[in-house]
Amino acid sequence: MRQTGDRLRGAVRRAHLWLGLGLGGLFVLLGLTGSILAFYPELDALLHPEVRVEGSAPPDWDQALRTLRTAYPEKQGNWRFEVTDTPGALPARYYKPPERDGYAFRPMMVWLSRDGRRIIRRDYWGEYAVTFIYDLHYRLLLGETGGKVLGWSGFALLALLLSGIWAWWPRGSWRKALRFKPNAPAQRCLRDWHKLVGLTGAAFLLILTITGIMLELPEESDAALNAIGLAVEHPPHVHEDGGSAGSANLIPPSQAIDAAIRALPGARLAWIETPAARQGVYRMRMQVPGDPSFRFPHSFVWVEGATGKVFAVQNARKASQGATVNNWVHPLHDGSAGGLFGRALVAILGLFPLVLFSTGLMRWKGRQGRNANSASAHSA
- pLDDT tens per residue across span 93-122: 999 999 999 898 999 999 999 999 999 999
Binned at pLDDT 50, 70 and 90, residue 377 comes out as: low
Q: Are 164 and 191 in contact (CB under 8 A)?
A: no
Residue 374: predicted pLDDT: 61
Binned at pLDDT 50, 70 and 90, residue 246 comes out as: very low
Q: What is the mean pLDDT of residues 354-365?
A: 95
Task: Examine the pLDDT at 363 and tell me if it is beyond 80.
Answer: yes
Please state, in angstroms and rounded to a whole number, the distance separating the CA atoms of residues 55 and 46.
17
pLDDT digits over 36-80, tens only?
Answer: 999 999 999 999 999 887 667 899 999 999 999 999 999 999 999
Please state, in angstroms and rounded to a whole number, the distance separating the CA atoms of residues 319 and 232.
9
Residue 336: predicted pLDDT: 96
Say what percent of the chain tops pLDDT 90: 78
Q: Are 288 and 264 in contact (CB under 8 A)?
A: yes
3-state helix, strand, coil in the chain (%, to 5): 55, 10, 35
Task: Examine the pLDDT at 240 and tell me if it is beyond 70.
Answer: no
Task: Examine the pLDDT at 128 and tell me if it is beyond 50.
Answer: yes
Binned at pLDDT 50, 70 and 90, residue 177 comes out as: confident
Binned at pLDDT 50, 70 and 90, residue 244 comes out as: very low
Q: What is the mean pLDDT of residues 158-166?
A: 96
Q: Are 79 and 92 in contact (CB under 8 A)?
A: yes
Task: Examine the pLDDT at 245 and tell me if it is beyond 90.
Answer: no
Residue 55: predicted pLDDT: 67
Q: What is the mean pLDDT of residues 265-284?
A: 94
Of 241-255, 257-271, 272-286, 315-329, where does mean pLDDT reach its minimum?
A: 241-255
Helix H or strand E encompassing 153: helix 143-168
Helix H or strand E encompassing 301: strand 299-304
Binned at pLDDT 50, 70 and 90, residue 219 comes out as: very high
